[in-house]
Structure 1
Amino acid sequence: MSSTKFTMQSYVRSCTLISTNQNPIRLMLNPNTKFSDVAKLIQIVWRQNAQQLRLFLIDGTEIEEKDLISIKKGTTLYAQLKNDESDLSNLKFEYDIVKRVGEGGQGIIFLGKHKETKELVAIKKISSSTWQDQDMEILEQESLILKQLDHKNIVKLYEKFTYPNQKEVIMVMEYLQGGSLLTQANSKLTEGEAKHFSRQVVEAIAYCHERKIIHCDLKLENIMLSSLSCKDIKIIDFGVSNYAGQPLVTENVVGTLSYLAPEVLSSSYKFIQPGQDVWAVGCIIYGLVFGKLPFDGNSPSETYRNIIQCNYQITKKSVSKELIHLLSIIFVVNPKERANIFDVLSHNWFREQLKIFKLNFSGINVRIGRSSSVAKMYSSRKSYDEDQGLVISQRKIVFSRRSVTRLDKVPFGAKIK
């Protein structure tokens, strides 16, 4: 009885491997080819020790090791080599700077294009001649956290280049073209549309909190639309993010006043807590539905007072009962009594069909503030001057920060009022 002779020849495919400033390599792929095999070939032919190897199709699509088996004969693959993060030439050889697109408190944002794959990226350049070692460690924290996160609604970090001698860090990140969610927060946005955006934010933060990662600076400006043609969002700017339970690294409150939870404004707040993200999520939901932020006043002192007294208003006559209840369990002064992000995610506002009802009130504004005891506690504060002193007295508040990949420029006057 004759047996059929098995051959692997039909499974072997000849491909071309290219990289910047290197001669092309003929790459033979079989069902057992691994990234380590490709790295060994690169080491022999190009004399490059690729510690971290990424492979792309010419159209910019990144392929993983499991995808090698499906690569067709004649395909050209681009190899991105990363031998040493301190080698500035890696960035210059791999990317072209298209234009400057934004600027924040610590860095400048450029639009870049990969020279071979033509993939668009956001390049954040952070530099300072006055940095101390501690400052470099803080910057390292952002990239370390982003490398742990892989969620469809969180910006992706592709590469990081650190140049200690030049006091410079460059981060190559996913390019988001749709602008910030701040541009969507207006009175014309329906509650259903606000829910669509809000659900994505909550799902991403729940993913972070599962891993004990707290964003610490959630706001509409730090939520970007992936493109102008879709409603998918990405959370950006993990520059001050940290792990739950970690001590604060500064005496100052870092964040944006309008989104800060009451406990963050207290001098007794010493450790990172998930509740501060939940409060900020509530502000984002409110901003999307009502077109303004819940605690904003005519002055910083009034905003501060509204936060610590938990004074906010329902400024639309037609809203759902589920939304009002959701806000009521988020905007709670005591963080131990506040809903956590998983309570928010499972709330009926996200699970049920929208049911709108008419509120029965003569005016437009209805006060929802939950903590009457807190309001009484601060009722003795009489003058505007005293209030102004209160804002700054114990801890300095940083009212605005940079965005890692904020590619839009929103004039101050156009922001939520």
Structure 2
Amino acid sequence: MVTDDSIEYTQEATQSTQQASQSQPVVQNEAHLWGFLQPCSSELTRIDLWKSIPIYQFGRNENKTAGNNIVFPGLKISNIHCTIEWDGREDINSTITVHDKSSNGTFINGARIGKGQYGILREGNEIAFGTPHPQENAMEDYRFLFRLTAGGPPVTGFYKEYDVGQQLGKGTFASVYKAIHKETGQWYAVKIIDLSKVRKPTEADANGKPKSKTSTFGREIMILESLQHPNICQLKEAFFQTEIKTINLVLELVEGGDLLDYILKRGGVVEAEAQHLAYQICDALAYIHSRGIAHRDLKPENVLLTKDSPPVVKVADFGLAKAVDSLTMLRTMCGTPSYLAPEVVTQTSSKEGYDQIVDSWSVGVIVFSMLTNTSPFLENSKLELMPRIVQRSIDWYTLENCGASPYAVQFVRRLLETDPSRRMTLDQARFDPWLQQYTKAY
């Protein structure tokens, strides 16, 4: 162990390099490294793992006698937390092992190794010290993306084409990072999905592209790549990295935040702007419906906005519901029941045609929320999910007395129709009187 070269992650240690870590990945000659840890938090700096030091010890104890090469002062870090060891091989078969010695845990892709146990750390894995969840104090968010460089620069797959920067967000099934295309310098967002969540994983070729165009997931990805609409967050390409059990989706980078934050910051949206946003959402959804795709998880968090004034809508996270297990209707409804149509929750119908009409209900909830800055529903939050959804009613009084026009109220009523056979489709919604001024000729 080389204690003289230990690094302590304090505010002072990161201030000088904070700006660089926020803007772009560090690009440098990495021949002297066997790997590095790219922080998920913009407040921390990259940790280089030198070939001259094959074993790194991580922990909270600053005392040199403890032997920690990397010091994390957070309270969830043990005095001696773990070691990460390189086997010395300088090829693609080099192996990195993690020995967990902690009380709160060391995690690889969210899975706890276990005190006294060993785990293998692979290229592109996320390793977390103390907790796998994002922390309010970014200085104590010890989650990192591991990059293996012992065998030289990658010659195939995602990391050949892209370099990864800071984490933009983390969900239950995926993490999103800012990434730069090495050749063009264009910025994108990359969503890294745990491959174990895919119902029918597809085989990939040497470049990480799906071998079979007929496999369920590969076919759906190719359909999404073909979609072109100004109000859809464009999927540029996908990489299937079966050896590390991830799928990397390279997406258009949208940096204006999401609709939920937009509504909350303004205490609601004035009707003229609500029309502007609603038309774009309806137009995007009508387009994907015409291609046989339903969103099924539409909510303000999935409606991204550009920095333009007024903002341009970019609908995201659609079309993967059938392919990714954790995005199925059943699991989704546990998290965001307000935006799901009643027939989804009660599962009273399995007709294929209802897949797309559920999106109309979600748009109705979103427009109601934009106009009133509140939920549409009067419900008993103490009840279990199904009886709560079945028994709830819509707070029409609030909508009718928020200053919205009669056309706006009628628009929402047509979308929040309980009977799916009578509910307005989103193609019809584009030609509703409330949105008539925005309707485009095709």
Q: TM-score range by the shorter chain?
A: 0.5 to 0.7
1:252 lines up with 2:319 in the alignment: no
Query: Partner letter of residue 430 of structure 2?
Result: L
Distance 1:251 1:257, change over 3 A: closer
> Aligned residue for 2:394?
311
Given that 1:258 and 1:303 are in contact with CA atoms closer than 8 Å, whether structure 2 keeps it comes out as no
> Aligned residue for 1:110?
177
Q: Which moved more, 1:225-234 or 1:174-183?
A: 225-234
Distance 1:185 1:298, change over 3 A: farther
Which structure ranks higher in relative contact order (CA pairs < 8 Å, sequence separation ≥ 6)? 1
Partner of 1:169, secondary structure, is strand
Distance 1:163 1:143, change over 3 A: same
1:1-80, aligned counterparts within 5 Å?
none
> Aligned residue for 2:366?
284
Query: Partner letter of residue 118 of structure 1?
Result: G
> Aligned residue for 2:166?
99
Structure 2 residue corresponding to 1:134, chosen from 200, 209, 226: 200
Distance 1:267 1:165, change over 3 A: same
Query: Partner letter of residue 279 of structure 2?
Result: R
Q: How many Å apart are 1:314 and its aligned residue?
A: 3.6
1:372-411, aligned counterparts within 5 Å?
none
Partner of 2:156, secondary structure, is helix
Counterpart CA distance in 1 for 2:394 and 2:382 is 14
1:156 lines up with 2:234 in the alignment: yes
> Aligned residue for 1:365?
none
> Aligned residue for 1:348?
433
Query: Partner letter of residue 134 of structure 1?
Result: K
Distance 1:132 1:264, change over 3 A: closer
Counterpart CA distance in 2 for 1:216 and 1:251 is 7
Deviations 1:291-310 (A, max 9, x none): 12212646163886675354
Q: How many Å apart are 1:332 and its aligned residue?
A: 1.4
Structure 1 residue corresponding to 2:247, chosen from 130, 149, 169: 169
5+ residue gaps, structure 1, are 1-86, 244-248, 354-417
Counterpart CA distance in 2 for 1:250 and 1:188 is 30
> Aligned residue for 1:206?
286
Give the count of matched residue pairs.
261
Counterpart CA distance in 1 for 2:186 and 2:378 is 40
Partner of 2:269, secondary structure, is coil
User: Could you tell me the TM-score, scaled by structure 1's length?
Assistant: 0.56
Identical columns (%): 30
Distance 1:95 1:333, change over 3 A: same
Counterpart CA distance in 2 for 1:159 and 1:134 is 19
> Aligned residue for 1:231?
311
Partner of 1:166, secondary structure, is coil
5+ residue gaps, structure 2, are 1-153, 203-214
Partner of 1:252, secondary structure, is helix
Given that 1:224 and 1:233 are in contact with CA atoms closer than 8 Å, whether structure 2 keeps it comes out as yes
Counterpart CA distance in 2 for 1:290 and 1:182 is 13
Given that 1:322 and 1:348 are in contact with CA atoms closer than 8 Å, whether structure 2 keeps it comes out as yes
Distance 1:89 1:314, change over 3 A: farther
Structure 2 residue corresponding to 1:295, chosen from 365, 371, 377: 377
Distance 1:257 1:165, change over 3 A: same
Given that 1:296 and 1:302 are in contact with CA atoms closer than 8 Å, whether structure 2 keeps it comes out as no
CA RMSD of aligned residues (A): 2.9
Given that 2:268 and 2:369 are in contact with CA atoms closer than 8 Å, whether structure 1 keeps it comes out as no
Counterpart CA distance in 2 for 1:164 and 1:171 is 14
Query: Partner letter of residue 311 of structure 1?
Result: I
Counterpart CA distance in 1 for 2:170 and 2:182 is 24
Counterpart CA distance in 2 for 1:303 and 1:229 is 39
User: Could you tell me the TM-score, scaled by structure 2's length?
Assistant: 0.53
Which structure has the bigger radius of gyration? 1
Given that 2:343 and 2:349 are in contact with CA atoms closer than 8 Å, whether structure 1 keeps it comes out as yes
Deviations 1:68-95 (A, max 9, x none): xxxxxxxxxxxxxxxxxxx973422322
> Aligned residue for 1:184?
262
Q: How many Å apart are 1:341 and its aligned residue?
A: 1.5
Deviations 1:197-221 (A, max 9, x none): 1110001111111122111111000
